[in-house]
Structure 1
Amino acid sequence: MAELTYFTGPMDCGKSTLALQVAYTESHAGRQGRLFTMLDRSGSSVITSRIGLSAPAIEVTDALDFWREVVSELTSGRRVDFLVCDEAQFYSRAHIDQLARIVDELQIDVFCFGILTDFRTELFPASQRLVELCDRMELLQVRPRCWCGEPATHNARTVGGVMVTEGSQVVVGDTDSAEVAYQVLCRRHHRRRVTAQVAAVTLNPEPLPFES
């Protein structure tokens, strides 16, 4: 039976690397698939990993209908055995419904990769829908670390090294020209808004727990 699988974790845990590995492994077994992504930090129509791997992909837009896309491929005589969907947190809830329909009615495996929560610790709408609909959710085993050395669980948005908690849910950062950057923090330092840059210039970055 085909499955809708959601691979998730915080930034820097290797989601895009695994997406490319899954695509390679499936293709190496003789299966034919399609790669999708949305708002990759390196540009449109490409899946990139921070360790330097990349592959061309179809850019997901608000207007894209996964069901129509795949049915069009099949009715044109092209084979589709699986879909790899990177940066799935940026998709719409309707996109996730379409992917679930593809699994159920066309028996095509769908592998989604994305972040659960945004910089405000709120679920992305598409990630919420994936949790609601997926057959299986896998937490990636590679655990990034906060600057303090503890396992990182939260994604922080920074401007000039200072953590911000307001703004649009989707802002692409971590590029050479972007003012906005992201880093992963443990819950304690995300709650206290202590980024690596703030910790480096603060004489006493760790307030006592009973201080307001």
Structure 2
Amino acid sequence: MVALTIKVSEETFTPRQQAVLTAALDLLVENGDGLTMTAVARRASCSKETLYKWFGDREGLLTATVQWQAAKVRMPQVDRSSLTARRLRESVEQFARDLLTTIEGDISVTLNRIAVTHAAVEKDRLGEIVLENGPMAIRRRLKPILEAGREARLLRFENSEDAYRTFFGLVVRDVQIRLLLGDRTLKQTDIEAEAKAAADQFFALYGAD
């Protein structure tokens, strides 16, 4: 059984493994559901034995692939002892930009479409893998930042889970469902504006006076 959740950053995978995961993501976009260890090995110019050594099996490869994609939403770095309102705002807005940039890409749209289809017919654990290593992992990475803001008396909320869900809703709104249905009108200028608007609305709701 492959562990579903690990903390992922650029340092989690070697440059060679990153190249393999990028090849796997490209194949998912091109071929959808037809991802195989053989195809990934061929695209990445490595042996299947190496893939099995690194990732265990196809499910392990899919898990690592989703984790690598989710890692594109960067973890804001804040110093809890000297956190300022400006630094907190910059971190939250950066997170919003990264989140929108990641979910609007072809890779995330393809992964989500496949995962929804698989979950509907209980074909395999891809839906669970995407949920745990995508949205749930992103939530676990931002909540400590919000809690740091509360500790610094820059934010006010009783429950960090509620605060995170509000923030996520303000950022994503209906964007993800529109993307899944084929709307590709979200541009970089839209991302910048929407990230800023989401941060404005979040701090209006939870910012300390």
TM-score under structure 1 normalisation?
Answer: 0.29
TM-score, normalised by the number of residues in structure 2: 0.29
| Larger helix proportion of the pair | 2
Give the strand-richer structure, 1 or 2. Answer: 1
